[in-house]
Amino acid sequence: MAVKELTGKLKNIVGKKGLMTATSRTAYYRSGFRSGFGGAIAVVFPNSLLELWQVLQICVETDCAIIMQATKTGLTEGSSPSGFDYDREVVIINITRIKKIILLDGGKQVIALPGSTLHELEQELKEINRAPHSVIGSTTIGATIVGGIANSAGGALCKRGSSYTQLSLFAQVDEDRKLKLVNHLGIKNLGKTPEEIFSRLERGDISLADLEGMDKAASDHEYQNRIRNTNAEVPNRYNADPSRLYDVSGSAGKVAAFAVRVDTYPLPAKKQVFYLGTNDPNDFSILRKHILNNFKELPEMCEYMNRGIFDIANKYGKDVFLSIKHIGTKRLPKLYAIKSTLEYFFNKIPFLPKYLPDQFLYYLSRIFPQHLPKRLLDYRNRYEHYLILCMSDAGIEETRKYLKEEWSQSEEVSFFECNEQEQEAALLHRFAAAGAAIRYQNLHQRKTEEVLALDIALLGNDSDWVENIPPEIKSDLDLSLYYGHFMCHVFHHDYIFKKGTNLKEVKAKLLKLLDAKGAKYPAEHNVGHMYKADDTLRKFYEDLDPTNTFNPGIGLTNKKRSYGGP
């Protein structure tokens, strides 16, 4: 089918406002959040589950490669095209307009349609004093519930683990290239035809008597036991964990998710953030083992930063910090889209520096006064390593007692209890760290290569968690930045190398060092187009999508129809 005829059929389904074809308008949707870019003939925005089904039917009938996309907050290029070398036309289906959250059993579980965001879920559950199954860094900028589950997003919560469910409704293409709807949602009499199922879900009339599948997991129920095992010779969580690959969970867009069913949790009555500093990372190792082995209550979260990332986030993540604080999260996805469109135009002008909007935002942020509270800055001057330890309810006094007894206030180790302003600032600063390395590189692009970012799951018993970079790598290094989720031993390493460094060779050397430690990678951002899927993950993808219709090339797999087979 000719492209014009195909796009005409898609327009008949979603309307003029639901279809983009101009390269300037689709540029944002064809790019990754941090990196990555590729070609697509159209970006389609279905307004309902039925429209999504009809769009999929057209794309499958015309043998298109399909990329399912939500708010595009992934960091490994997995929700956008990668390059221009596909053997078919590529269509991006963006599901952000299909929103609905259905509370089940008084809100103990929910069903979420594909465009519903974690932030929306968080706000809705607050009204019934409950919390979502997952909170991740990109919650604040619009990450969807379905996107988190499809990418095994880990997040910061010590009590919950990676996003996971065995209860979902999804479409897949079988070996005969036929589109079929798979209903594993666990709802009685949901309907026999796709039209009946979609209509009932969008009405949301599901009672307690309708619920089945109570023997299936709607979140990672085993995580608390795993994280407490400080002698474990395996990581607590990582993307390719075969025990956490199930239908939509971990699918990385190899199916089209229509709905997922997930648990919710009671909100704690009280929370308190403790801010800790030390010059000896072993102090944090001792604290981690004590909390996981002896505390009755696990932390809500425990985030690590070192001085390097503290400084880079303070200087180069300031606009992100201020935007979330003063503009709020609702408008941020649209603002990111505007920024990406401007970048697309400016990057085509040869005499202009790349990523000009990033440079503008950086210099604009410098006009504003210091945004971090005094005590956080004081700790930056005194200590090399920091923990943001958030406890709730009975865990607050348990932590307070332990720290007062074991953490003397000195020049080598110390802590304080954050007030509300400090708590908000510490958490926002940690979030701003995730993009600060990219901003630094954009401002120093003439002397540095692109950022090499690794997210790593160390073994539960690995006490040697501070990286010691070999001299042959360090000589080419401009900056190395470290932050992560400390209790579960998932860390983010951002490296910025000097201009001329062979990043492919350096990455291979770094991964070899991690392999020797038994570490797993990626830990929580999924393989995207930046990591090679291991044999288990690749087989999972091929079983879900035997014709390679959805997200071809993910995990550095073959992009061709049927993975290059007959």
Tens digits of residue pLDDT in 476-527: 999 999 999 999 999 999 999 999 999 999 999 999 999 999 999 888 888 8
**Residue 356, pLDDT score:** 79
Contacts of 380-383 with C-beta under 8 Å, sequence gap 24+, read: 380/307, 380/310, 380/311, 380/314, 382/277, 382/411, 382/414, 383/277, 383/278, 383/279, 383/307, 383/413, 383/414
- Residue 531 CA to residue 521 CA, distance in Å, equals 8
Query: Which is more confident, 77 or 516?
Result: 516
Q: How do residues 200-219 score in pLDDT, each as one tens digit?
A: 999 998 989 999 988 899 99
**1 band by pLDDT with thresholds 50, 70 and 90:** low
**Residue 364, pLDDT score:** 87
**Residue 365, pLDDT score:** 87
Helix (H) or strand (E) segment spanning residue 340: helix 332-347
Q: Which of 23-37, 419-433, 536-550 has the lowest mean pLDDT?
A: 23-37
**Residue 332, pLDDT score:** 66
Task: Tell me the CB-side half-sphere exposure of residue 265, using CA atoms within 13 A.
Answer: 17
Q: Which of 89-103, 173-187, 278-292, 339-353 has the lowest mean pLDDT?
A: 339-353
**Residue 177, pLDDT score:** 95
Task: With a cut of 70, say whether residue 230 has pLDDT above it.
Answer: yes
Q: Mean pLDDT across the stretch 522-543?
A: 90
Query: Which is more confident, 94 or 157?
Result: 94
**32 band by pLDDT with thresholds 50, 70 and 90:** confident
**Per-position b or e across 462-486, b if 16+ CB within 10 A of its CB:** beebebeeeeebeebebbbbbbbbb
Q: How do residues 313-363 score in pLDDT, each as one tens digit?
A: 999 999 888 888 877 666 666 666 677 677 777 777 777 777 777 788 888
Q: Which of 30-44, 122-136, 163-177, 232-246: highest mean pLDDT?
A: 163-177
- Residue 112 CA to residue 121 CA, distance in Å, equals 9
**Residue 442, pLDDT score:** 86
Q: Which of 42-46, 52-56, 358-362 has the lowest mean pLDDT?
A: 358-362
For residue 398, the SS3 value is helix
- Residue 506 CA to residue 493 CA, distance in Å, equals 13
Q: Work out whether strand 90-94 and strand 65-69 pair parallel, antiparallel, or are unpaired.
A: parallel
By C-alpha distance, which of 170, 163, 128, 130 is closest to 145? 163
Q: Mean pLDDT across the stretch 97-108?
A: 94
DSSP secondary structure string for all residues of 131-182: E-S---GGGGGT-BHHHHHHTT---SBTTT-S---S-EEEEEE-TTS-EEEE
- Residue 241 CA to residue 520 CA, distance in Å, equals 9
